[in-house]
């Protein structure tokens, strides 16, 4: 089978590129290793739309951060992705740190950060954020700082790309890449062997592997783990802005950040590790998150934590994103080492890269491209009238499956039926929030498994949490139809 472009990796970057390429007449396929898209860094990050003050000037990080930041209002309109412009504050806790704040301010100006960017004094800081710690003395205010739902962004990119003709294959790990004599690429994957005119390398933590297979310009990625706590929604209003501390050489430091869904993140740590799959949380890492965040919020309520998680940054050895076609590998396009601010940068990387690919492959515009994608209607956000109308149109809206997040059966079924729909329990969670609330899926999992089994036409015993061997049920204790014994 011959393709124009094959994209390796279904994170926010790969799915963003897929959507942008669907603006052209081209045969495009995305191959994702795991059972679902959005299973790498794109699902486990702080979800900040960064203003762009932190990246070193004249780097790709600085350029794409600022360009990407400016694209989120349009993405919200076209793809129905939740965002909030809640500002970012970089708080200092020592008067001696004033020069460091000043440096960030100048860096932000040089990088071309949009909107308000200024240092605020303690009085204004406390007026804005009365719960900030007692030693806080001033802050950099970043008006263009915001928050986004990273899953919904990635899934929206993928759904819209699929609506516009991109093919998605999951459980399709790419294992080899070869240049053919005719100049095309052969892509060997768990879903088959394919020929393509161009390859996009968006394999996240493994993007160095593919770059190094085809180019002499080597890149090495060492994962940098970040561990977090998530706090219950009742703490959403403790802080309005994303509350950063001064960055360190390991990254942007530990922060307290509200999410668009109303929970609060505390973290992340930054620890270089060797195993690209080691997504554990550790007692030491979590304790560090708490200790450092304790300067920003002195009374973090331990009983408010609902869960913990970690994410692995794709930290490359060049200090910057590695993007585009290497000189020695024509028609191989890198989105390599896209660590933070990669979520913010993803729309701009996708826009720039797809234009470059289209020019080099001489792709014509797709006259049928439709940029609009609507999200799954959220019962929890409807008023009483809307709820009544939704239930009248589809009685499954009247059946609440996840009580913590008020997610209905209608939403869960739609999450499975959509293009690039959910195939497992975690996929339902990312598309609807069922299981993301206070009880952490304790109550809704059995019904979610039943619905997945019905919709996918598989036995409940085959339903998984996240694909592979992660089955949730071992055997039926009773024969079917006799289980009320």
Angle 287-289-291 from CA coordinates, rounded to 5°: 65
Sites of contact with ligand FAD (CB under 6 A): 8-14, 31-34, 39-42, 44-48, 50, 173-174, 202-206, 226, 268, 311-313, 335, 338-344
Contact 310, 270 (CB under 8 A): no
Going through 143-293 in order, the beta strands assigned E by DSSP cover 146-148, 167-169, 174-179, 185-189, 192-201, 221-231, 242-245, 255-258, 264-267, 271-272
CB of 280 to ligand FAD, least distance (A): 13
CB of 204 to ligand FAD, least distance (A): 2
Distance CA 403, CA 264 (A): 19
CB of 126 to ligand FAD, least distance (A): 25
- Catalytic annotation, pick one of 50, 76, 240, 331: 50
Could you write out the DSSP letters of every residue in 286-345? HHHHHHHHTTT-TT--GGGEEEEEEEEEEEETTSS-EEE--TTSTTEEEEES--TTHHHH
Q: Quick one: which of 88, 145, 52 has its CA closest to 296?
A: 88
CB closer to ligand FAD, 146 vs 326: 146
Bond into 268 cis (ω within 30)? yes
CB of 384 to ligand FAD, least distance (A): 36
Give Cα separations from 377 to 83, 103, 424, 430 (angstroms): 16, 44, 20, 14
CB closer to ligand FAD, 338 vs 357: 338
CB closer to ligand FAD, 40 vs 437: 40
CB of 40 to ligand FAD, least distance (A): 2
CB of 67 to ligand FAD, least distance (A): 12
Six-digit token pair at 381? Answer: 């956000």
Distance CA 173, CA 192 (A): 10
Torsion of CA 213, 215, 219, 225, to 10 degrees: -40
CB of 474 to ligand FAD, least distance (A): 27
Contact 142, 88 (CB under 8 A): yes
CB of 11 to ligand FAD, least distance (A): 2
CB closer to ligand FAD, 314 vs 408: 314
CB closer to ligand FAD, 214 vs 312: 312
Distance CA 375, CA 169 (A): 22
Q: Which residues contact 280 (CB under 8 A, 6 or more apart)?
A: 310
Could you write out the DSSP letters of every residue in 447-467? HHHHHHHHHHT--GGG-BSSS
Q: Which alpha helices (H) appear in 297-419, and where do they start and end?
A: 342-361, 384-393, 409-417
Q: Is 50 a catalytic residue?
A: yes
Distance CA 159, CA 11 (A): 13
**Which secondary structure element, helix H or strand E, spans residue 425, and what is its range?**
helix 425-432
CB closer to ligand FAD, 47 vs 463: 47
CB closer to ligand FAD, 251 vs 377: 251
Distance CA 159, CA 167 (A): 10
Contact 125, 136 (CB under 8 A): yes
Among all residues, whose Cβ is closest to ligand FAD?
Answer: 342
CB closer to ligand FAD, 42 vs 281: 42
Q: Which alpha helices (H) appear in 185-282, and where do they start and end?
A: 207-214
Which residues are marked as active site? 50
């Amino acid at each position: 089978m011959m393709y124009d472009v094959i994209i390796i990796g279904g994170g926010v970057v790969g799915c963003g590129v897929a959507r942008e390429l669907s603006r052209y007449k081209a045969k495009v396929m995305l191959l994702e290793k795991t059972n679902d898209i959005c299973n790498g860094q794109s699902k486990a990050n702080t979800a900040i739309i960064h203003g762009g003050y932190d990246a070193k000037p004249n780097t790709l990080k600085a350029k794409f951060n600022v360009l990407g930041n400016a694209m989120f209002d349009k993405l919200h309109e076209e793809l129905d992705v939740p965002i909030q412009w809640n500002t970012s504050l970089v708080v200092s806790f020592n008067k001696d740190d004033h020069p460091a704040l000043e440096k960030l301010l100048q860096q932000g100006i040089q990088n071309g950060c949009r909107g308000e960017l200024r240092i605020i004094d303690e009085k204004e800081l406390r007026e804005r954020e009365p719960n900030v710690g007692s030693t806080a003395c001033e802050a950099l205010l970043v008006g263009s700082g915001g928050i986004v739902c990273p899953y919904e962004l990635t899934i929206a990119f993928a759904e819209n790309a699929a609506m516009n003709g991109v093919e998605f294959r999951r459980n399709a790990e790419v294992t080899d890449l070869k240049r053919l004599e005719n100049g095309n690429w052969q892509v060997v994957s768990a879903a088959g062997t394919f020929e393509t005119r161009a390859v996009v390398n968006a394999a996240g933590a493994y993007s160095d592997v593919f770059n190094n297979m085809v180019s002499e310009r080597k890149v090495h990625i060492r994962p940098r783990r970040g561990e977090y706590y998530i706090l219950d929604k009742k703490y959403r209003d403790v802080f309005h802005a994303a509350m950063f501390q001064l960055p360190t050489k390991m990254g942007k430091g530990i922060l307290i950040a509200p999410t668009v869904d109303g929970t609060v993140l505390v973290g992340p740590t930054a620890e270089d590790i060797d195993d690209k799959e080691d997504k554990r949380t550790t007692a030491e890492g979590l304790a560090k998150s708490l200790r450092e965040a304790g300067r920003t919020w002195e009374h973090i309520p331990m009983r408010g934590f609902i869960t913990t998680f970690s994410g692995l940054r794709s930290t490359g050895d060049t200090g910057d994103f590695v993007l585009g076609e290497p000189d020695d590998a024509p028609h191989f396009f890198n989105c390599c080492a896209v660590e933070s601010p990669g979520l913010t940068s993803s729309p701009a990387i996708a826009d720039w890269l797809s234009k470059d690919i289209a020019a080099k492959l001489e792709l014509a515009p797709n006259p049928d491209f439709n940029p609009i994608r609507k999200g799954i209607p959220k019962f929890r956000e409807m008023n009483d009238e809307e709820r009544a109308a939704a239930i009248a149109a589809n009685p499954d809206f009247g059946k609440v499956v996840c009580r913590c997040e008020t997610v209905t059966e209608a939403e869960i079924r739609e999450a499975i039926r959509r293009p690039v729909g959910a195939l497992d329990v975690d996929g339902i969670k990312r598309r609807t929030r069922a299981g993301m609330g206070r009880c952490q899926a304790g109550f809704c999992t059995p019904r979610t498994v039943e619905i997945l089994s019905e919709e996918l036409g598989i036995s409940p015993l085959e339903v998984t949490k996240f694909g592979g061997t992660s089955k949730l049920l071992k055997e039926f204790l009773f024969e079917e139809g006799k289980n009320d014994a």
